[in-house]
Amino acid sequence: MVKYNENMKQLIECVPNFSEGRDEKIIRQITDAIQSVDGIKLLNVDPGKDTNRTVVTFVGEPEHVIEAAFRGAKMAAQLIDMSKHKGEHPRFGAMDVCPLVPIANITMEETVVYARRLAKRVGEELGISVYCYEFAAFSNDRQSLANCRAGEYEGLKEKLQKPEWKPDFGPVVLNEKSGATAIGARNFLIAYNVNLNTTSVRRANSIAFDVREAGRVVREGDQVTGKIVNDENGEPMRIPGTLKKVRAIGWFIKEYGIAQISMNLTDITVTSMHKAFDEVVERARERGIRVTGSELIGVIPLQAMLNAGKYFLRKQQRSVGIPDEEIIKIAVKSLGLDELSPFDPKKRIIEYLIDDQQNKLVDLTLSGFSNETLSESPAPGGGSVAAYVGALGAALGSMVANLSAHKRGWDDRWDEFSNWAEKGKQYHDHLLKLVDEDTAAFNAIMDAFGLPKNTDQEKKQRSIAIQAATKHAIEVPFEVMQTAFLSLEVIQAMAEIGNPNSLSDAGVGALCARTAVYGAYLNVRINSGELADKTYVAEILTKASNLLQETLAKETEILNLVESRI
């Protein structure tokens, strides 16, 4: 699950697949219907001409999401005629499938409840047969989407008559225009295609069978034409594929003139995108086929992209302690995600799409941040500046580590320095976040003081809000102190073992970290004066004072070391 916290707001991602990928007018009417619900953020619309299918991704709070999904299903039922639909992708309905995915502050069990509510409404109000799948399934045989959709639209009329395939909701007779739909709750799934330098679907399928978890069925003699071998229970025997939690098929995409391995990575903690890519590369090579790139359908969590970039950097024996943007760039190029169309991380990475915060201090230019501090506004003030100075100190520590990792003659130590650089980067990134958080904490105090105080109840609520905001305004600079102090470990290590040509950079890093700790300490002290909880104040000031003394001692130690080695 993507880690995201906005005042503990529950967030669900919805990824409905509609059986129309060619008519832009129809697609737009469906997405307009979805967006007509307030509180919904449309993340991605990904139409495919050959599959004749569009994958839509949006997020929001649960009630808003299921309302938007219903409106999308209703519009699709009005505009799409399944009796005339043709496409490369398996399908059996206008809104073919609609999974709900827990994103933040919501459990899978809660998500299942919303999925079943949506399914019931689609079945009853739209007259569409609905199967609940994955975690929302009412029986084990319906957990698999493939089982629910088996026979596709063409076999749906007969399937609906079978007692074991009675829909969970909706009619048991075929809705000829809209077909059926599968609505479920599932973990985050990545739809991912790997491009091949062949037009052969048979060869692409052979590679897909090599890697997918289900593998291939065992046949007598010829693996293509031979008779299927069954086990003692009469079930086809299978040779399992090499990748767990992966579904895959091969197909030809006329739009691009290539065959692809189309995969669903159903648990990226088991099989990541980069692991799947490399496995397909190897299996294709064994068959005389070359992978030319890949294609992401929909959106992806930030961590999955960072993991991919770090994986390829480590294969090159390069440091991974570099900015996220550079890591993502390596991932895109290594996976060939921009081969078929441009890949814009801002539009494809879910955390970037969710982040609605505007006018962040850390997004300003150097002069912009300085000028904002210079202005008559009290924020950003010393707390934000302390956090930023601390981020610069951690950045200098990581810079020395990166330079050391790439130093000629030190190749056997690249991994050691990469680990130091990555640790420093973590402190750097956290301190950058605290730049805006400190200013937000100050603004929260001002907002609390601005609350009405006309009645006794209002006065009480205002007082509670002021105290809560004040405590938070103490906690943020104390967190700056802790993080900047921890960064000194990286800086000291680089002063001891890092590239000797960068000793001065380590020294400046120590000075920055010390300034960050001392500056944040002053903010802890001044904000503590307004807090009524004097027991807490005494405890936090003692901790802060001790941390400051440790920092000053560590700074002296590092600077003495730097001076002795220059």
Q: What is the DSSP string of 463-515?
A: HHHHHHHHHHHHHHHHHHHHHHHHHHHHHHHHHHHS-GGGHHHHHHHHHHHHH
Q: Is residue 558 part of a domain?
A: yes
CB count in 10 Å sphere of residue 442 = 22
| Residue 247 and residue 263 in contact, taking contact as beta carbons nearer than 8 Å | yes
Amino acid at 488: L
The pLDDT, as a whole number, for residue 103 is: 84
Q: Does 1 fall in a domain?
A: no
- Answer whether residue 2 is part of any domain: no
Mean of all residue pLDDT scores within the chain = 93
Give the CATH number of the domain where residue 320 resides: 3.30.70.670
CA distance 57 to 320: 30
Q: What is the pLDDT of residue 3?
A: 39
How far apart are alpha carbons 70 and 66 in whole angstroms?
Answer: 6
Closest listed residue to residue 198, CA positions, set 295, 88, 287: 287
Query: Does a structural domain hold residue 225?
Result: yes
Q: Which amino acid is it at 241?
A: G
88: Cβ contacts below 8 Å, ≥ 6 apart: 50, 51, 52, 251, 252, 253
The per-residue pLDDT for range 323-348, each reduced to its tens digit, is 999 999 999 999 999 999 999 999 89
Q: Are residues 142 and 31 in the same domain?
A: yes
If you search the block for the tokens 């960064």, which residue do you land on? Answer: 487
Q: Are residues 219 and 175 in the same domain?
A: no
Burial of 162 from C-beta contacts in 10 A (0-12 / 13-18 / 19+) = exposed
The pLDDT, as a whole number, for residue 353 is 83
What contacts 269, CB < 8 A, 6 or more positions away? Answer: none
Confidence category of residue 223, pLDDT binned at 50, 70, 90: low
| CA distance linking residue 487 with residue 232, whole number of Å | 62
Average pLDDT over residues 298-310: 92
Cα gap 426→398, rounded to integer Å: 10
In this structure, is residue 33 part of a structural domain?
Answer: yes
Q: State yes or no: cis peptide before 477, omega within 30 of 0.
A: no
| C-alpha 156 chain-centroid distance | 35
371 assigned to some structural domain: yes
Q: What is the pLDDT of residue 8?
A: 59
Is residue 3 within 8 A of residue 26, CB to CB? The reply is no
Six token digits for residue 430: 């956290």
Q: What integer is the mean pLDDT of 348-366?
A: 83
| Mean pLDDT of the 79-92 span | 93
DSSP state string for 133-164:
EETT-SSGGGS-HHHHHTTTGGGHHHHHTSGG
Q: Are residues 179 and 194 in the same domain?
A: no
Are β-strands 190-196 and 95-104 bridged in parallel, bridged antiparallel, or unpaired? unpaired
On whether both 105 and 210 belong to a single domain, the answer is no
CATH code where residue 460 lies: 1.20.120.680
What is the crossing angle of helices 503-528 and 456-497, to 10°? 160
Q: Give the Å distances, CA to CA, from 40 to 47, 63, 74, 139.
A: 20, 10, 17, 31
* Top-confidence range, 37-41, 228-232, 325-329, 452-456: 325-329
Q: In this predicted structure, what is the pLDDT of residue 358?
A: 67
- Of 307, 324, 350, which residue constitutes the final position of a domain? 350
pLDDT at 6: 41
* 243 and 114 belong to one structural domain: no
Residue 494 lies inside a defined structural domain of this protein: yes
Q: Which of 46, 210, 438, 505 is catalytic?
A: 438
Long-range pairs, 527-530, Cβ under 8 A, ≥24: 527/470, 527/473, 527/474, 527/477, 528/474, 530/466, 530/470
Q: How far apart are the C-alpha atoms of 254 and 89, rounded to whole Å?
A: 13
Examine the domain organization and report whether 108 and 198 are in the same domain.
Answer: no
In 22-176 the beta strands, taken as DSSP E runs, fall at 41-48, 53-60, 95-104, 129-134
Q: Is residue 512 very low, low, confident or very high in pLDDT (cuts 50, 70, 90)?
A: very high
Residue % of the chain over a pLDDT of 70: 97
- CA–CA dist 458, 447 (Å, integer): 14
**Who has greater pLDDT, 299 or 62?**
62
- Domain ranges, residue 286: 190-350
Tens digits of residue pLDDT in 263-299: 999 888 899 999 999 999 999 999 999 999 999 998 8
Identify whether the C-beta of residue 390 lies closer than 8 Å to the C-beta of residue 487.
yes
Q: Same domain for 380 and 522?
A: yes
Whether pLDDT at 65 is above 70: yes
Q: Read off the DSSP letter of residue 169.
A: B
Q: What pLDDT, in 10s, does the model give residues 431-453? A: 999 999 999 999 999 999 999 99
| Confidence class for position 224, pLDDT limits 50, 70, 90 | low
Report the pLDDT value the prediction gives residue 230, as an integer from 0 to 100: 79
User: Which pairing describes strands 180-185 and 95-104: parallel, antiparallel, or unpaired?
Assistant: parallel
Q: What is the pLDDT of residue 165?
A: 95
For residues 278 and 213, membership in a common domain is answered with yes
Q: Which of 64, 89, 274, 428 is catalytic?
A: 89
In a shared domain, residues 253 and 167:
no
Question: In the predicted model, is pLDDT for residue 120 greater than 90?
Answer: yes
Amino acid at 48: G
Show the 3-state SS of 248-289. Answer: EEEEEECCCCEEEEEEEECCCCCCCHHHHHHHHHHHHHHCCC
Instruction: Supply the pLDDT for residue 356.
Output: 62
Same domain (yes/no): 522, 379: yes
User: Among the three residues 185, 201, 225, which one is the final residue of a domain in this structure?
Assistant: 185
- Interval 100-116 mean pLDDT: 93
Residue 7's pLDDT is what?
A: 42
User: Does residue 26 sit in the same domain as residue 85?
Assistant: yes
pLDDT tens-digit readout, 145-171: 999 999 999 999 999 999 999 999 999
Place of tokens 């001891």: 496
The CATH number for 44's domain is 3.30.990.10
Assess whether 406 carries a catalytic annotation: no
Rounded to the nearest 5 percent, the helix, strand and coil shares of the chain are 55, 15, 30
291-297 and 246-253 as β-strands: parallel, antiparallel, unpaired?
unpaired
Instruction: Please identify, among 185, 211, 239, the residue that sits at the C-terminal boundary of a domain.
Output: 185
Please report how the helices 366-374 and 382-405 are oriented relative to each other, as an axis angle in degrees rounded to 10: 160
Do residues 119 and 132 make contact, with C-beta atoms less than 8 angstroms apart?
A: yes
Q: Does 436 qualify as catalytic in the annotation?
A: no
What pLDDT band is residue 56 in, cutting at 50, 70 and 90?
Answer: very high
Structure confidence by residue, pLDDT tens digits, 452-478: 999 999 999 999 999 999 999 999 999
pLDDT of residue 221: 66
Q: Give the gyration radius of the chain's Cα atoms.
A: 28
pLDDT at 354: 77
Structure-model confidence comparison of residues 280 and 39, the more confident one: 280
The helix/strand/coil state of 541 is helix
| 151 φ, ψ (degrees, to nearest 5) | 90, -15
Question: Between 223 and 542, where is the model more confident?
Answer: 542
- Number of domains present in the structure of the chain: 3
Residue 299: predicted pLDDT? 85
Within-domain flag for 5: no
Cβ-contact 289, 203 below 8 angstroms: yes
* Same structural domain, 65 and 163: yes
Max mean pLDDT among 83-92, 356-365, 516-525, 527-536 falls in 516-525
